[in-house]
Amino acid sequence: MMESILNRRKSMAKGSVASISIEILPEYGWSVGSDNNERVFGPGTLFRGYVVVNCKELSERASRLHLLFQGSESMLAYDIGLGAMRSSTIQFFKVHRTLWKKVDALDVLKPMNTYKFLFTIQMPLVQFPPSMSHDFYKCTFKLSAYLYPSLEFGKMPVVAQLNIQYIPCIETRVPKSPIYLQDVKKKKEEVKSSSMVELSSTEFVSGDTIKAVIHVRKASDTTMSPISDILNVVLCLYQISTFQIDEEPISERLIETQTHIIRTHTSGTGQYRVSLKLNESLLPSFTYGKVMCLSYKLKIKIYVKKSKVTNGLENNNAENSIHYNDDTKKSLKKYLVLPWSSAVSVFESPIVIGTMGRGIRADDQLRVYTGVSSRPRNALYIPSFIQDDESEDMLPKYEASRLPSYSASFGTSSRVLLMTASSP
């Protein structure tokens, strides 16, 4: 008896039940950016796919195919000081369905065949955080398929996983009038000019271009002005991550930057257009997260060309020169060879990165997950497996020599035999 059990375990170690994978049909969801191969899904969307089972020599031992769909967000563990660690995980939902189950000795997955098991999932009209992987935070929506062997064989299930890319519905609007930003740098007494930034909007979708107009006005008396006729305008976009339990951001990261070199008009006054192209893969802004919120800030810095004022450094014998010791001259010369001054003007504005184009509005029934999570498994607020009305047309023609009747339905998906290969 013991010898037969050992022999069976040895044969199992040499063989394999199957390999499985999960595929999402490309006609569902929508693409973001130029990469049309990756599909994304949002509130209320439907997606359909297959669990593909490539049977191997021991596939007849399979007894059940199970599909699990779950979403969660996590504050990743990190040290907040003095050895204290902080982390948390919140599960949005967890739904599952049996796609196939062995009902008798004839209902088996035959070796060396490939089967597809169809499933269809409807997302609820609920705003979850977007799919993302952050240094301190993670939000995932994951499909997991499990092919279980019969209990008497005692093997672990064959597992396949696929992450679903989810984005919320974040609206964008165009203001009725331009937005003017004032200089936040206070040292105006050192500069004989003034500037202002005009924005047509502060809400964009990924892939858009932020356009700004720089208004520059020099003082009439330019003899005392250190400002040259060349400006360096730098546009920077920062991504700000903040935990809900904290007042200060956990990170402020520079993610986009663009530099413009501008030669000003001889009159000293002018308007100059600058822009910053946004990456197509930018995560959307969201402020409703239970764990973390994500926002953006635009910062525009204006630098000026340095004047080559070396009076007193090159000729200490000049009558009107200022006399410096050697160490001071060395430090000043090192400073004066820099091409640009420190920023003389700085402008800041919050920026919203949305997912819906201007004029497109979200469904009135859309709810934020923080307001519905307390409801005990309300079907309106969790994804659902839905019955496929077209499954009858997708079934293969029944053959008594191949598989038993398909009248017994398990779950919502149909089984399609793709390929039959003769066993050696």
Residue 334 belongs to domain with CATH number:
2.60.40.640
Residue range 128-145, pLDDT digits in tens: 999 999 888 999 999 999
Least confident window among 57-61, 98-102, 293-297, 398-402: 398-402
In a domain? residue 312: no
Residue type, 410: F
Residues 239 and 139 in one domain: no
Give the residue numbers spanning the domain of 187: 179-306+323-354
pLDDT of 30 strictly over 70: yes
Q: What distance in Å separates the CA atoms of residue 337 and residue 73, rounded to the nearest whole number?
A: 51
In a domain? residue 244: yes
**Backbone CA torsion sign across 353, 355, 357, 363:** negative
Q: Residue 388 corresponds to which tokens in the numbers above?
A: 């496929």
Residues 153 and 281 in one domain: no
**pLDDT confidence band for 21 (50 / 70 / 90):** very high
pLDDT of 57 strictly over 70: yes
Q: How many domains does the chain have?
A: 2
CB under 8 Å, gap of 24 or more: what pairs does 330-333 form? none
Looking at residue 219, its pLDDT comes to 58
Residues 80 and 31 in one domain: yes
DSSP helix/strand/coil, 321: coil
* Cα angle value 202/126/139 (rounded, 5°): 75
- Does this model's pTM top 0.85? My answer is no
Counting Cα atoms < 13 Å in the Cβ hemisphere of 100 gives 27
In a domain? residue 311: no
Residue range 356-404, pLDDT digits in tens: 988 888 888 899 998 875 455 677 789 999 886 544 444 444 455 555 4
Q: Distance of CA 147 to CAs 70, 151, 283, Å?
A: 18, 12, 34
Residues 337 and 375 in one domain: no
HEC readout, 115-145: EEEEEEEECCCEECCCCEECCCEEEEEEEEE
> In terms of residues, how long is the chain?
424
Residues 158 and 71 in one domain: yes
In a domain? residue 160: yes
- Round the average pLDDT of the chain to a whole number and report it: 78
Q: What percent of the chain has pLDDT over 70?
A: 68
Residues 35 and 94 in one domain: yes
Average pLDDT over residues 341-355: 88
